[in-house]
Amino acid sequence: MSTDPVMHTPAAMKALASPLRREILRQLANHGPATSTTLAKAMGQNTGTTSYHLRLLADTGFVTELRERAKGRERWWEVVKADRRLPARADMTDAEQDLAVRLGDSRLAEDLRLLSAFVRDRDEDSDWQQGSRSSTFMTKERLKEFHEEYLKLVRRFGSDRDSAPEGARMILLRWMGFPDPRGS
The CATH number of the domain holding residue 55 is 1.10.10.10
Residues in the chain: 184
Residue 140 confidence (pLDDT): 94
Can you give the residue range of the structural domain that contains 38?
A: 2-88+98-108+129-163
- Whole-angstrom distance, CA of residue 102 vs CA of residue 84: 17
Residue pair 58/65 in contact (Cβ under 8 Å)? The answer is yes
Label residue 72 exposed, middle or buried (CB < 10 Å: 0-12, 13-18, 19+): exposed
Asked if residue 123 belongs to a domain, the reply is no
Residue 82 lies in a domain: yes
- Beta-bridge partner residues of 7: 85
Nearest to 61 by CA among 101, 111, 100, 21: 21
Between CA 9 and CA 60, with CA 111 as vertex, the angle to 5 degrees is 20
Q: Is residue 119 part of a domain?
A: no
Residue 68 lies in a domain: yes
Q: Where are the beta strands (DSSP E) in the chain?
A: 2-7, 34-35, 63-65, 76-79, 82-85
Is position 182 within any domain?
no
> How many domains are there within the chain?
1
Query: Considering the domain boundaries, does residue 148 fall inside one?
Result: yes
Res 50: pLDDT: 97
Tens of pLDDT, residue by residue, the chain (184 residues): 555 556 678 888 888 888 899 999 999 988 999 999 999 999 999 999 999 999 999 999 999 999 999 888 899 999 998 878 888 888 889 998 998 898 889 889 989 998 888 888 776 667 787 888 899 999 999 999 999 999 999 999 998 888 899 999 888 888 888 888 888 6
pLDDT of residue 83: 76
Distance CA 119, CA 2 (A): 33
pLDDT at 1: 52
Q: Is residue 155 part of a domain?
A: yes
Q: Is 79 left (phi over 0), alpha (psi -120 to 50) or beta?
A: beta
Q: Is 137 exposed, middle or buried (0-12, 13-18, 19+ CB in 10 A)?
A: exposed
Q: What pLDDT is recorded for position 161?
A: 83
- pTM to 2 decimals? 0.76
What pLDDT shows up at residue 63?
95
147 is a domain residue: yes
Residue-level pLDDT at 12:
85
